[in-house]
Amino acid sequence: MNFIDKCIRGLSLPADIDDAVQTWHDDPEIRVDLSDYLGFDKEEYSAWLADGSIIQSVIAARVSGLSLFEYLQSAMELPMAARGQGLSADSAVIKWLRKTGRLG
């Protein structure tokens, strides 16, 4: 089970991601890319690299059955929800999403 799945099932906390990354580095038997070990798709992984705090939104998107970008778009349309997820127009991930054309 990957890290994101563990978070969804309540077996890990998003704040534990650094420990998961350290385990990936330290365990020679893990033979998958870090993104696969953590459970990110390509877009989620890129967003997480731009802003580690996006992990909360990745989990919320998965639980909601939305892609990360659908979730972020809907969250940005509701200012209170965006603030609740730590999102603002000035956040690093929102700037990155706009710069790469992934978010309007």
Measured in whole angstroms, the distance separating CA 13 from the mean position of its chain's CA atoms is 13
Domains: count for the chain: 1
Q: How does pLDDT run across 45-104, given as a tens digit for each residue?
A: 999 998 898 999 999 999 999 999 888 888 777 654 444 555 666 666 777 777 777 666
Q: Considering the domain boundaries, does residue 79 fall inside one?
A: yes
Is the Cβ–Cβ distance between 61 and 67 less than 8 Å? yes
Neighbours of 17 (CB within 10 A): 17
In a domain, 104, yes or no: no
For residue 103, what pLDDT is reported? 67
Give the tens place of pLDDT for each residue, 26-38. Answer: 999 999 999 999 9
Q: Can you give the pTM of this predicted structure?
A: 0.76
Report d(CA 46, CA 6) in Å as an integer. 20
Average pLDDT over residues 3-18: 97
User: Is 58 within the bounds of a domain?
Assistant: yes
- Is residue 57 within 8 A of residue 8, CB to CB? The reply is no
**Residue ranges making up the domain that contains 12:** 3-99
pLDDT value of residue 82? 47
CA distance 54 to 97: 12
Query: Is 47 inside any structural domain?
Result: yes
| pLDDT number for residue 100 | 77
